[in-house]
Amino acid sequence: MIAENFHRIQQDLAGSQARLVAVTKTHPVERLREAYEAGARLFGENRVQEMAAKLPELPPDVEWHLIGHLQTNKVKYIASFVHTIQSIDSLKLLLEIEKQAAKHQRVIEGLLQFHIAQEETKTGLSLPEAEEILQSGATRALRHVRLTGVMGIATNTPDEQQLRREFQELRGIFEHLRARYFAQDEGFRELSMGMSSDYRLALEEGSTLIRVGSAIFGAR
């Protein structure tokens, strides 16, 4: 079942530049192995402890993405292995990732998370807040974090027009930041948007990373 679901979603990605992050939070390692055998290599977790516990149980070529809210005091637990932190929402967090990555002499990729949903419970930056971060001297001095794009979570709604507006808003933010701050950096390329219920719309609006859990693994 997991393999069938994974391959079906991969077919939806055919012809696009997008990649699939299999969201594995709360699922046991056996189910992750099943997805791995089907071809999944990008795994997304919401919780630091759960990601760290699953790491030794899976092959070393898994690309781990932290997609949930990250507290600064938890960065040290994943800095030795996490590939991408998709939920950077403050300068304080960005600088802590830099500090912890430096201890392991590695570079961690990061996405700036934006608040695009019509829901107060969702977290993320506004465009002015993000620009303040990018204009700071501390950000320009980073050596162990590489900002490679943006992430956003759309409103949980069946209204396709609203979802498109939110995805278009995030794409506009991405293109603005790329032109203004990353014009010489080909690595700034990721537009992470779209989940199990709305990833097809996100793909149509230019997503390069979709984060899909229940459509692969079923409901928890």
What CA–CA distances, in Å, run from 175 to 35, 162, 170, 183?
A: 33, 20, 9, 10
What is the share, in percent, of the chain residues with pLDDT greater than 70?
Answer: 100
Question: Locate tokens 């396709």: which residue?
Answer: 160
Domain 2-217, what fold? TIM Barrel (3.20.20)
pLDDT for 219 equals: 80
pLDDT one-digit tens code per residue, 42-51 = 999 999 999 9
Q: What is the pTM of this model?
A: 0.97
C-alpha dihedral (139, 144, 149, 150), degrees to nearest 10: -70
pLDDT one-digit tens code per residue, 96-153 = 999 999 999 999 999 999 999 987 777 899 999 999 999 999 999 999 999 999 999 9
Q: Per-domain residue ranges for the chain?
A: 2-217
- DSSP 8-state symbol, 58: S
Rounded CA-CA distance 16/139 in Å is: 31
pLDDT one-digit tens code per residue, 159-195 = 999 999 999 999 999 999 999 999 999 999 999 999 9
Mean pLDDT of the residues in the chain: 96
Q: What angle do CA 114, 130, 132 make, to 5 degrees?
A: 160
Rounded CA-CA distance 149/144 in Å is: 16
Packing angle between helix 127-135 and helix 91-103, nearest 10 degrees? 50
Rounded CA-CA distance 103/40 in Å is: 29
Residue range 78-101: average pLDDT? 98
